[in-house]
Amino acid sequence: MPKATREAFGETLVELAEKFPNLTALDADLSHSVMTAAFAAKYPQRHWQFGIAESNMIGAAAGLALSGKIPVCASFACFLAGRLETIRAAVMLNGANVKLVGTHAGLGIGEDGASQMGLEDIGALRSLPGLTILQPADAIETRQAVEWMLGHPGPVYLRLARQKVEEVHKPDYRFELSKPDVIWEPEPKHCQATIFASGGTVGPALAAAKGLLDKGFSIRAVNVATLAPFDADSIENFAKDSERLVTVEDHNVIGGLGSAISEAAAGLGLGIPVVALGVRSFGESGKAAELYERHGLSASHIMDACLRGVRS
């Protein structure tokens, strides 16, 4: 059953409420969109509604965290990242154990269009020292990422999407921080490309790998759920037996997954081409699938990127 990662987040918060008695949810008038409403209804004494005032919500979250609570601040990705200075000063400089949950990330929000699309959040937040950034690919991974996040004694940004996505993991999948997760292993191991995807683009990346297999190409697909701290060394083995690395993300092509992989490849001197697919403009209205097609994130675009310049 396809399910949005934000839905799995909302369910997991309720499930883990007893395990984490200090867990406290903060909202800025979007509890029914970010899916904290169920937690709020069941635990009203542990929920604070801040109204349309994200800066104060994030600042107050820092204060709650410094007094031992585990505050979870949820809003749209763009509205949280827009409070970069509050996150930097109140949360990060204090090392406050605040969990920022940015939902409706990327083009995937669809019809609401540009002003509601968080396409720059990872780029903005990835430069904050000590901030863990997670983007799970499906409901199974989201549940585990949420549990990991609540148990981690430091600030975390969890990036979630509005649209429903297919499961790419089996029920026995175990999330591990900073560990790339191979969801499609090529045969033979030497492949034309290794695709790195995250969040909403993991499904299209998997479809691309499968589609190219049918055409006789060997492609690997890797889900990157941890964008910070990014384990640069982990890509070395993938690079060894790939002709190119392809990154695809529902985020601006600058500052996110493509940048992290490129930085790693350059830093390690791997000398391998990195083809980065990402959004190069502000967003616009449309259905999520239409927007993925138009902005170059669909399976067909990923297949093209895997083969660009490859002699068949």
Partner 1 sequence: MPNLDEVVRELRSDIIRSIAVAGSGHPGGSLSVIDILAILYAHHLRHDPQKPDWPDRDRVVLAKGHACPALYAVLAHHGYFPKEWLSTLRQLGSALQGHPDRKRLPGIEAATGSLGQGLSIGLGMALAAKMDHKDSRVWVIAGDGELQEGQVWEAAMAAPKFKLDNLTLIVDANNGQIDGPVAEVMPLEPLQKKFESFGWETTAIDGHDLAAIEAAMSSAKKVLDRPQAILAKTIKGKGVSFMENNIAWHGRAPNREETERALKDILNA
The catalytic residue positions are 54
Question: Does 133 sit near partner 1 (CB under 8 A)?
Answer: no
**Distances, alpha carbon 205 to alpha carbons 123, 159, 185, 306, in Å:** 21, 18, 12, 10
Given 17, 37, 66, 177, the residue binding partner 1 (CB under 8 A): 66
Quote the least distance from Cβ 99 to partner 1, whole Å: 14
Q: CB of residue 23 vs partner 1: minimum separation in angstroms?
A: 11
Question: Is residue 70 left, alpha or beta, with left meaning phi > 0 and alpha meaning psi from -120 to 50?
Answer: beta
Binding span for partner 1 by CB under 8 A among 85-93, 140-148, 186-194, 219-227: 85-93
Give which of 93, 32, 101 is closest to 71, Cα–Cα. 101
Closest distance to partner 1 from the beta carbon of 78 (Å):
18
| Member of 20, 33, 95, 114 binding partner 1 (CB under 8 A) | 95
Q: Whats the size of the chain, residue-wise? A: 312
Given candidates 5, 12, 36, 86, which one binds partner 1 under the rule CB under 8 A? Answer: 86
In 3D space, the residue among 119, 78, 80 whose CA is nearest the CA of residue 98 turns out to be 80
- Of the candidates 36, 39, 44, the residue with the CA atom closest to the CA atom of residue 75: 36
Nearer to partner 1 by Cβ, of 49 and 285: the residue is 49
Q: Which is nearer to partner 1, 86 or 259 (CB)?
A: 86
Name the segment binding partner 1 (CB under 8 A); options: 46-54, 189-197, 245-253, 267-275. Answer: 46-54
Number of residues near partner 1 (by CB under 8 A):
30
In the numeric block, the tokens 């209205």 are attached to 285
Among 40, 58, 202, 272, binds partner 1 (CB under 8 A): 58
Phi-psi region of 54 (alpha: psi -120 to 50; beta: other; left: phi over 0): alpha
Residue list 232-271, contact with partner 1 (CB under 8 A): none
Cα distances from 269 to residues 104, 222, 230, 272, 273, in angstroms, run 36, 21, 17, 8, 11
Return the residue of 2, 32, 44, 53 that touches partner 1, per CB under 8 A: 53
Q: State the nearest-atom distance from the C-beta of 68 to partner 1, in Å.
A: 7
* Residue 68 binding partner 1, by CB under 8 A: yes
Nearer to partner 1, 31 or 86 (CB): 86
Counts for the chain of helices (H) and strands (E), in that order: 13, 14
Choose, by CB under 8 A, the member of 59, 118, 155, 199 that binds partner 1: 59
What torsion do the CA atoms of 5, 7, 9, 14 make, to the nearest 10 degrees? Answer: -160
What gap in Å lies between CA 144 and CA 146, rounded to an integer?
Answer: 5
What are the φ and ψ backbone dihedral angles of 246, each rounded to 5 degrees? -120, 130
User: Shortest approach of partner 1 to residue 48 CB, angstroms?
Assistant: 7
3-state secondary structure of 146: helix
Cβ atoms < 10 Å from Cβ of 45: 6
As measured in angstroms, the least distance from the Cβ of 84 to partner 1 is 11
Stretch touching partner 1 by CB under 8 A, among 52-60, 113-121, 198-206, 300-308: 52-60
Hey, is 26 helix, strand or coil?
A: strand
Binding of partner 1 by 69 (CB under 8 A): yes
Q: How far is the CB of 129 from partner 1 (least distance, A)?
A: 12
Is 85 a binder of partner 1 (CB under 8 A)?
A: yes
**Could you list the residues that contact partner 1 (CB under 8 A)?**
24, 45-46, 48, 50-51, 53, 55-56, 58-69, 71, 85-86, 88-90, 93-95
